[in-house]
Structure 1
Amino acid sequence: MRLQSYLQSSVEILAQYSGDIPFAAWLKNHFRQHKKFGSKDRRLIADLCFCYFRLGNAFAWQERGERMLAAQLLCHRNSAFVRECKPEWQAVSDQSLQEKLQFLGASIDDTIFPFPDELSPAIDQEAFRLSFLQQPDLFLRIRPGKEKAVHQKLQTAGIAFSGDGSCLRMANTTKVDEIIRLDEEAVVQDISSQQVLQPLQQQVPSLPSPATAWDCCAASGGKTILLHDTFPRLRITASDIRESILFNLRNRLKRAGVAADRTFVADVSSPRFSLRQKFDIILCDAPCSGSGTWGRTPEQLSFFPNEKIDTYADLQKRIALNASKYLQPKGYFLYITCSVFRKENESVVAYLQQHAGLQVLSQQYFTGYEKKGDTLFAALFTTS
């Protein structure tokens, strides 16, 4: 009966959510206002809600409580909710996702992901759709020289992890901030995000000294720190559109021990944007739909509006075109998104080739959907 109460509470909570802010933040605020929920209650209700969102468009004909139970079967191998509420489903609990979907009478061909026609042809549609039915892992990138200290701290704390070299994976719920000094010793960074500078590394085995780089959409600074760790001699400039973003960025860089030459507020998409300096490397991690990361925010499967794809693509073209004007001759321009949509990726590459006079050296997806990670796109250009 207690599990039925959790199910009912989750149905009521989802009926109040409108998609205006990320569900994790909304739910945290909801629990803050309704203190009757203990830690176990919050954990079980959150799981019911997030698994529900992972269904996307699947089982749309069913009422919300039934869909939640279907999500529990698909997202878990041994769900207490299935055992109590749907004991007749127990026989398939350990079967593959495809077998479970077949048992429930659903096909992934036209369900789960709502924008199949927008996907890049480079994406394995079946694997990508199925990936939403599992929680992505937490990935750490160990900073150079900190490998031994980080491994020792995690082992002492009894944290199970796997991985080689500087990239470690562990359960998404691991509270690493209580164990290691984040940003100083390691950065929370998805496996694909850790790899996204590889095209640049392959083209630039050694840079002239001093070489300059501009991270024109620096956001929280994860790739700024990665750029520093990959090319320690780079003189890095970082910008973003709001001072509040840069305030957090500066604090993070300070924790990481990364000294930026300059940080400044700029709307690079504006036709009035201008700079006096040119750079050897420009990193353009453009604002995007984030569709390659929706495994971490599965509510987007239900609430992301299709028309925003075109909005983002237009913004990306303006930012990338404006930023590319400040590339040194024979310099390198790296365009990055965490999107799987063709319009935000391959179409922007074609646009830059046509309008910015850039020569594309490589373009690729770093696919995380078969690794319990995110999927990112990167295209490397140089001046022709």
Structure 2
Amino acid sequence: MRSAGRVAAAIEVLFDVLERRRPVADGVRDWGLSHRFAGSGDRAAVGNLVYDALRWRRSSAWRADDEAARGVVLATLRWRWGIGPADLARLADEAHGPGALNDAERAMLEADRLADAPDDVRADVPDWLAPALEDNFGEEWVAECAALAARAPIDLRVNTLKSDRPRVLSTLARWGAEPIPVSPVGVRLPPRAGWERAPNVTHMDVYQRGHVEVQDAGSQAAALMVLAHPGEQVLDLCAGAGGKTLAIAAQMDNRGQVHATDADQGQLAPIYERLRRAGVRNVQVHRAGADLSALERRMDKVLVDAPCSGSGTWRRRPDTKWRLSEEAIARREAEQAAALDDARRYVRPGGALVYVTCSVLPQENEAQVAAFLDRAADFTLTSTADAWAEVAGEAAPKPWSAEGLMMTMTPAATGTDGFFVAVLKRDG
């Protein structure tokens, strides 16, 4: 496909995603299935443009003075991809392209209107979320949210049970691999630009042999901040597909015991193959709803990677930003409180409960911790600064933190997805 056809396809997919409020991954996949002539490179290119249009949906709609898919895509190409007005006009008029530009579109491509936009438009967030984000980041909130709208790199965690970072960096050197400052086991492949296709890491030998896992640097750091030691007993209560479980198992060098479970059995399904590929032997998976009473008050560390809005992952899942609702956040808040109350049963006296979300919203983070401490008089909030220094090192970028206590990692501050971490110690 030529570029003109790719643009027309992106407009078609974006219209479908916005009109039906469906996940963008489903929209891109279904378009590929119904357009068999499109090769894998074409599908990736169309996906790139659709995802970017969603990342910058509000600012592009403002620039275009048009919230429809066509206006958003054209403004994204002009002001984010840097394609000039004359080139865009030629591209639009080509065979299989989106059709000739009208006078309003030509004018939009000549003059950038974004400087006059409200803060929530420049931040590319829904207007109703602006107060919470401003509360969390103060004067930096627009810059922080703008960073959450950029393309994300591919972050990998080196599985130290099978390899080491220098070896993986050498293997992936052709892709521009570089060490990640906030994770001692992190390797990053920088994001591609425009139509360029990102490497498919899961098809590479280094992945198939279990030397690396795909995991954002923030998720890596959060898992490592559990500070699990060989021989300890650790419970990952909301394990999902097992990314943090695997990181903790490697941190423990396959010694001790990691118990992994999740309220959703479907979420747990991939963990078994991932454990096998990684060579992990110290993880016991408990099915959803299993009786865990034998673990009560016996765990050295309990990790609660709580269900949340996912606002910290908007770089990778930009469509969720526009489907999020106040009702959905309220449901997540209830689930978070229940998970924390459940987790406290398993922490031994003197042990630690580590609360993590991939959210940047204070109602899911600091407010949840404060409410839990009101209910759990035997728990004390401890500093995350020491754990951060031990994991990331003194020279690493610093996350958002109040007096070294609870912390929030972000793309702008730490070069990661948005992750919140709080460590609570049980008295005794």
TM-score interval, smaller chain: 0.7 to 0.9
Helix, strand or coil for the counterpart of 2:175?
coil
Kindly indicate whether the alpha-carbon contact (under 8 Å) linking 2:231 and 2:252 is maintained by their aligned counterparts in 1: no
Structure 1 position 171 matched with structure 2 position 190: yes
Residue of 341, 363, 368 corresponding to 1:343 = 363
| Number of residue pairs the alignment of both structures matches | 364
Report what 2:392 is aligned to: none
Residue of 341, 351, 363 corresponding to 1:331 = 351
> CA separation in 2, counterparts of 1:191 and 1:66?
34
Structure 1 position 134 matched with structure 2 position 150: yes
Helix, strand or coil for the counterpart of 1:68?
helix
TM-score, normalization: structure 2?
Answer: 0.76
Report what 2:194 is aligned to: none
Report what 1:383 is aligned to: 426
Kindly indicate whether the alpha-carbon contact (under 8 Å) linking 2:157 and 2:214 is maintained by their aligned counterparts in 1: yes
Q: Which runs of 5+ in 2 are unaligned?
A: 90-104, 192-197, 383-404
Helix, strand or coil for the counterpart of 1:265?
coil
Q: Cα RMSD between the aligned structures?
A: 2.9
Structure 1 position 226 matched with structure 2 position 242: no
Report what 1:275 is aligned to: 293
- Name the CA shift for 1:323/1:19 in 2 (closer, same or farther; >3 Å): farther
Kindly indicate whether the alpha-carbon contact (under 8 Å) linking 1:216 and 1:284 is maintained by their aligned counterparts in 2: yes
What displacement does 1:39 show?
A: 3.6
1:238-253 matches, within 5 Å, as 238-253=260-275
Helix, strand or coil for the counterpart of 2:360?
coil
Structure 1 position 369 matched with structure 2 position 398: no
Q: Percent identity?
A: 24
> CA separation in 1, counterparts of 2:408 and 2:359?
9
What displacement does 1:305 show?
A: 1.9
Report what 1:84 is aligned to: 88
Select the structure with the greater relative contact order (CA < 8 A; seq sep ≥ 6): 1
> CA separation in 1, counterparts of 2:224 and 2:168?
24
Letter in 1 for 2:319: E
Q: Deviations over 1:181-220 (max 9, x none)?
A: 357211211111121145443xx7xx5x742000011111
What displacement does 1:139 show?
A: 0.9
Helix, strand or coil for the counterpart of 1:250?
helix
TM-score, normalization: structure 1?
Answer: 0.84
Structure 1 position 298 matched with structure 2 position 310: no
> CA separation in 2, counterparts of 1:24 and 1:383?
42
> CA separation in 2, counterparts of 1:275 and 1:51?
47
What displacement does 1:5 show?
A: 4.1
What displacement does 1:348 show?
A: 0.8
Letter in 2 for 1:252: R
Helix, strand or coil for the counterpart of 2:156?
strand
Report what 1:262 is aligned to: 284
> CA separation in 2, counterparts of 1:81 and 1:28?
30
- Name the CA shift for 1:2/1:100 in 2 (closer, same or farther; >3 Å): farther
Q: Which runs of 5+ in 1 are unaligned?
A: 93-98
What displacement does 1:120 show?
A: 6.8
Kindly indicate whether the alpha-carbon contact (under 8 Å) linking 2:78 and 2:84 is maintained by their aligned counterparts in 1: no
Report what 2:131 is aligned to: 117
> CA separation in 2, counterparts of 1:211 and 1:176?
32
> CA separation in 1, counterparts of 2:335 and 2:44?
38
Residue of 224, 232, 235 corresponding to 1:214 = 235
Helix, strand or coil for the counterpart of 1:283?
strand
Kindly indicate whether the alpha-carbon contact (under 8 Å) linking 1:237 and 1:262 is maintained by their aligned counterparts in 2: yes
Report what 1:189 is aligned to: 215
Q: Deviations over 1:124-157 (max 9, x none)?
A: 31222212442111111212242343223223xx
Report what 1:153 is aligned to: 171
Report what 2:13 is aligned to: 13
Kindly indicate whether the alpha-carbon contact (under 8 Å) linking 2:28 and 2:43 is maintained by their aligned counterparts in 1: no
What displacement does 1:303 show?
A: 1.6
Moved more, 130-139 or 344-353: 130-139
Kindly indicate whether the alpha-carbon contact (under 8 Å) linking 1:135 and 1:372 is maintained by their aligned counterparts in 2: no
What displacement does 1:30 show?
A: 2.4
Kindly indicate whether the alpha-carbon contact (under 8 Å) linking 1:142 and 1:186 is maintained by their aligned counterparts in 2: yes
Helix, strand or coil for the counterpart of 2:246?
helix
1:21-32 matches, within 5 Å, as 21-32=22-33
